[in-house]
Structures are given as structure tokens and as C-alpha cells.
Amino acid sequence: MTGWFHTRALDPGVFVTLEPAVDPMFRASMVTVLGRDRDLQFDFGCGLLPLRPALPLGAKPVLAVASHAHVDHIGGFHDFADRFGHASESAGFAGQPGGQTFADEFRGWPDVVTTLPAPGWGIADWTLRPAPLTGTLAEGDRIDLGDRRFTVLHLPGHSPGGIGLLDQADGLFLTGDAIYDDEILDDLPGASIPDYLRTMDRLRTIDFRLAIGGHGPEMSRPRLITIAEDYLRRRG
């Protein structure tokens, strides 16, 4: 671990970055995928310190994609020029009234960090900076990095505009908070259990080799299916 952020390699050209000192409720996975022609950055942490300099990005253009507009996924989104997400959460990305980001909940969370990101830092020094989308993504859209391609999947439930990215050729699946190996939160404002049930039913049919969720450890396909089917049993 170097400083505030901790980055580890999962596959050639695929990295996961965390903020280990952030409370687990808000400690989200940030995924970097290096491509031949451009790089992909998927999710952006809480924005307590500048994110982009800490990421394993090179000199190529970067496509920044947010899985959804909750605070723990868009804190560093503003650091990037080309910002994409689902249109249904545009207000949240832009910091507009009515856009549910849970920034106030983060600001008031007890002991939200275990160590300070900088000497003398206090939560009063933090703000969630607006990051209006420069483009939108919808079901079936493609993201082309030159040597690998992701298909956009709209996976609502946790939030209205939750999206995942699937590289069918490589078997890499970035799920955001549509599914993750931890307690599934479906009682937040903006969440929908009926949407989540449809999403979980869909997720167990998707073929992949490795899934990186928005929180918790990575998932194999059998593990993801177990999580999805457990949710369907409990909520269906």
C-alpha cells in the first residue's frame, strides 16, 4: 500500500484500487483496465484525495465510467474529462437537487475513516464535487479499448441507473453494485426490490470467468450464482 490508496493487479492490464482506511460501508472497488488505444476507469471512490495520480493509468486517453451515482463510486469522477454513466442518474452525477448520492450520509457517518487522508484533515474539508456526464450509456452499448470490448448491461435494483460492463471475449465482468460479495443493500432511497429480483435472475444466466463487484472480494461464476439465488430465495 502506498499512501491513501491501495492498488493490486488482478490480470494483465487489470487493476483494483481501494481506500482501505474508509469505513467498509463506503469502501468501493475502483477498476482500471488498460487498452491498446485507450484505458477504462470504472468507479472513483469517495474523493477524499486526488484519485487520478494514484491510478495505474498511462498516457492514453481515458474513458471514465461510473457504475452509478452513489458517493463512494463518484468521488473522483470529476478528475476525468470523458465521463459516462446511465442517463437516469444524471442529476446525481451533476450534483443537482433530487440526485441521490448519499453525500450527506457519508459526511455524517461515525468514524468514516480510520486514519486521516492528510494531516489536520476533517470531514468538514470534504465535498462531493459535481461531475456532469459528458455522455450516457445504455443497455447494449459497446466500449472499445482497441484490443478489448465491453458490452454495457443495465442492471437496476441497487439504484435506477446501475450498469455493469462485460468483456465477453475475456470473461471479465465489472458488476458495480448490481451484485457483490457482501450484504446486498436494497432498502436505500432509489433502490427497488422488484428491479433487483429481475437483475439477479438475469445475472445468474451470464457467462463469465471473473466478476469484480463494487464491494467485497472478486467472484467466480459459481459464487455469483450462489449470491443471486440466495437473494431470489429471500426476496422473491
What are the tens digits of pLDDT across the range 14-44? 999 999 999 999 999 999 999 999 999 999 9
3-state secondary structure of 68: coil
> What confidence tens digit (pLDDT) does each residue in 138-158 have?
999 999 999 999 999 999 999
Asked if residue 171 belongs to a domain, the reply is yes
Q: How many domains does the chain have?
A: 1
179 in Cβ contact with 213 (< 8 Å): yes
Residue 54 has pLDDT above 80, yes or no: yes
* Nearest-angstrom CA–CA distance, 38 and 22: 30
In this structure, what CATH number is given to the domain that contains residue 46? Answer: 3.60.15.10
Which of 23-27, 78-82, 118-122, 190-194 has the least mean pLDDT? 118-122
Q: Is residue 205 part of a domain?
A: yes
Instruction: Please tell me the predicted confidence (pLDDT) of residue 2.
Output: 53
Q: Is residue 48 part of a domain?
A: yes
Q: Is residue 38 part of a domain?
A: yes
Whether pLDDT at 5 is above 90: yes
HSE-CB for 143 with a 13 A CA cutoff: 32
Range of the domain at 201: 6-235
Dihedral of the alpha carbons of 74, 80, 84, 88, in degrees to the nearest 10: 40
Residues 6+ apart with CB under 8 A from 192: 156, 157, 160, 186
pLDDT at residue 58 is higher than 90:
no
Residues 6+ positions from 12 with CB-CB distance below 8 Å: none
Residue 191 has pLDDT above 90, yes or no: yes
| 211 domain-assigned | yes
> Hey, what's the cell of 84?
459516462
Strands 83-85 and 62-65: parallel
Do the domain assignments include residue 29?
yes
Residue 97 has pLDDT above 90, yes or no: no
User: Does residue 1 fall inside a structural domain?
Assistant: no
pLDDT of residue 154: 98
For residue 20, give the C-alpha cell.
482501505
Evaluate whether residue 173 is within a structural domain: yes
- pTM for the model: 0.97
Mean confidence (pLDDT) of the chain: 96
